[in-house]
Structure 1
């Protein structure tokens, strides 16, 4: 299971605000399954809820379609009544994110014996001309002057990266039965929202068109306040690497007796006739990837949980090349050679205590923060 949407209460035509971010690999067949359930209990176990239908496809199909509507199917492959699912995909090529801090003032009272339980929805126009839900705030209970928590969404999700593009903000009064009461709405743009500053908030009238037509003296159904609006960049791993960031790879190897006798095939340290074992396989698998991001390719390799010659005292932080002043090995090959040479000269012992190695790496990291170059 990759993730789940929020629950839409008492709704046969839900529009889910939750977005799923998936890495797209053109060269791979990435199979996806979307399953819908009717939530009856608070349990997180799916078998506790009623299965409504599912739809399977590949990520490539969604990407090539951009937006698709398909029939929901039961487990036997037959249609699940009239149920349909609509899926839209968008490339997150723009790494800008927008953080908004919103509040309301003097919103319309909607609850008979209380005030209102307001929340906001943000919509953008889709390719089909219909408004598409982008984000939904939390509900603030029993107030006409709500202050919502600041939230962050990708700019490409909110306005396709076009700061002049119109977006619609709708305010509702939450009802537990799912029949939320409309308070009002307005249209704006990200460029307009960006006029809000910490010391100078932006105020926008929340309008109920029906009330506006009926009442001559109607002004608004409250004020929505943009307390602050900030656009920043959400840098990716690749951005850091292209910016000169280096990764330091440190190997910590468990030499405790729980690994078994390295002379016996049942041990994780047993080197088979092909010259490898579980530890060597892991070192090669991880090291061959990480070493591309380390310019000098000199890697500390440490061990713990073994008795060392000549006095056979237990050590939980020792260089596997037996050079405590210079535990660095040249490349992954150097780690493998040091490990193979070390294995016959130590005795497996215990207990399992790798905190000294973690502290060792933490000291390296602390030193790296003092460097002027990226690392």
Structure 2
């Protein structure tokens, strides 16, 4: 299977070419039940810290009557390796049609950096209420956007008891625990037995973990507004099979009365993020020149100036780099080496292989 992508334009490489788009998948576990006669109807809101303030970026759909939601809406974020991107994930129970968050019951939140998510691929955090008490868990997985375009042909469906169906599809992949994980949910086609869904794109890693031969399960439901969707049928296929098809191919399914199928096209752009998602670790080693060439540390003009009111130039540089690199170093330990200093008790000059005091 050949991957195709567009090469970057010729010329100097600027910061704009180092930006990658990543997709964040969200699910919740054991959320608080804020409703009296039913379960909570959760949705997730993504915030990013900008100039010290939390700015809303996006929201998922609402999962009706569900305390363990797996949201089909994914958050797409620009990933900047050289920046500390602080994110906050907040869950709410939708009670009204209002877009104002204070109109909905708060279910908990947690914060982390995008670098932490990217370097870990999957993280699970405890949701916290305003008083610091735990309130269920939130799980995030990250994928780079390797686009897979699906084109879904018509599916001949059995008729609903009270008329035609309102069908939609759900795409699943097998998880590490052997259970099927929701990857994508299509739109609902109202009142039809011959639906044709719109083309959509999903990351290849998200759909099949990058293995084009891995089985994918597609399930069809008849939509109900109360969340109790009626099962219509299912079939299994693979990305390879869809990509090989010249047109939408038939897939047999005992529970369908006709044919169903899909066609897929893969495109790929390689980036620095491929190394990180592939397990690349970044190490940070500090080397400090203690020789007199840097001046007296008591002199404010020296780079080694011991500033009683703040940091010196060296510490500022170490702090700026360390904040970024720490997300990509599993043990969070940074070797520090120094040379040129005279240390007691023998006052010998340190060489470059000596650890800093």
Per the normalisation by structure 2, the TM-score is 0.55
- Indicate conservation of the 8 Å contact 1:172/1:180, yes or no: yes
Judging changes above 3 Å, is the alpha-carbon distance between structure 1 residues 9 and 206 closer, same or farther for their aligned structure 2 residues? farther
- Indicate conservation of the 8 Å contact 1:205/1:221, yes or no: no
> SS at the partner of 1:191?
helix
Aligned residues: 218
> SS at the partner of 2:154?
strand
Is residue 232 of structure 2 the alignment partner of residue 176 of structure 1? no
Give, in angstroms, the shift of residue 61 of structure 1.
3.1
Matched residue, 2:189 = 140
Larger C-alpha radius of gyration, 1 or 2?
A: 1
Structure 2 segments unaligned to the other structure (5+ residues): 1-55, 274-357
Give, in angstroms, the shift of residue 46 of structure 1.
1.2
Is residue 121 of structure 2 the alignment partner of residue 66 of structure 1? yes
Matches of 1:188 and 1:167 in 2, distance apart? Answer: 5
Question: Going by fraction, where is helix more abundant, 1 or 2?
Answer: 1
Equivalent residue in structure 2 for 1:225, among 215, 238, 261: 261
Matched residue, 1:349 = none
- Indicate conservation of the 8 Å contact 1:73/1:79, yes or no: yes
- Indicate conservation of the 8 Å contact 1:170/1:184, yes or no: yes
Matches of 2:114 and 2:179 in 1, distance apart? Answer: 24
Equivalent residue in structure 2 for 1:206, among 242, 253, 260: 253
Equivalent residue in structure 2 for 1:130, among 175, 179, 186: 179
Give, in angstroms, the shift of residue 233 of structure 1.
4.1
- Indicate conservation of the 8 Å contact 1:165/1:190, yes or no: yes
Judging changes above 3 Å, is the alpha-carbon distance between structure 1 residues 62 and 221 closer, same or farther for their aligned structure 2 residues? farther
> SS at the partner of 2:153?
strand
Matched residue, 1:243 = none
Equivalent residue in structure 2 for 1:112, among 136, 150, 161: 161
Structure 1 segments unaligned to the other structure (5+ residues): 209-219, 239-375
Matched residue, 1:158 = 207
Judging changes above 3 Å, is the alpha-carbon distance between structure 1 residues 234 and 119 closer, same or farther for their aligned structure 2 residues? farther
Matched residue, 2:95 = 40
Matched residue, 1:84 = 137
Is residue 76 of structure 2 the alignment partner of residue 21 of structure 1? yes
Give, in angstroms, the shift of residue 100 of structure 1.
1.5
Judging changes above 3 Å, is the alpha-carbon distance between structure 1 residues 128 and 63 closer, same or farther for their aligned structure 2 residues? farther
Matches of 1:176 and 1:62 in 2, distance apart? Answer: 34
Matches of 1:70 and 1:151 in 2, distance apart? Answer: 30
Judging changes above 3 Å, is the alpha-carbon distance between structure 1 residues 115 and 46 closer, same or farther for their aligned structure 2 residues? same
Equivalent residue in structure 1 for 2:234, among 185, 202, 210: 185
Matches of 2:220 and 2:253 in 1, distance apart? Answer: 8
Give, in angstroms, the shift of residue 222 of structure 1.
4.2
Give, in angstroms, the shift of residue 235 of structure 1.
8.5
> SS at the partner of 2:260?
strand
Kindly report structure 1 stretches of 4+ aligned residues shifted beyond 6 Å.
none
> SS at the partner of 2:77?
coil
Matches of 1:11 and 1:221 in 2, distance apart? Answer: 31
- Indicate conservation of the 8 Å contact 1:164/1:191, yes or no: yes
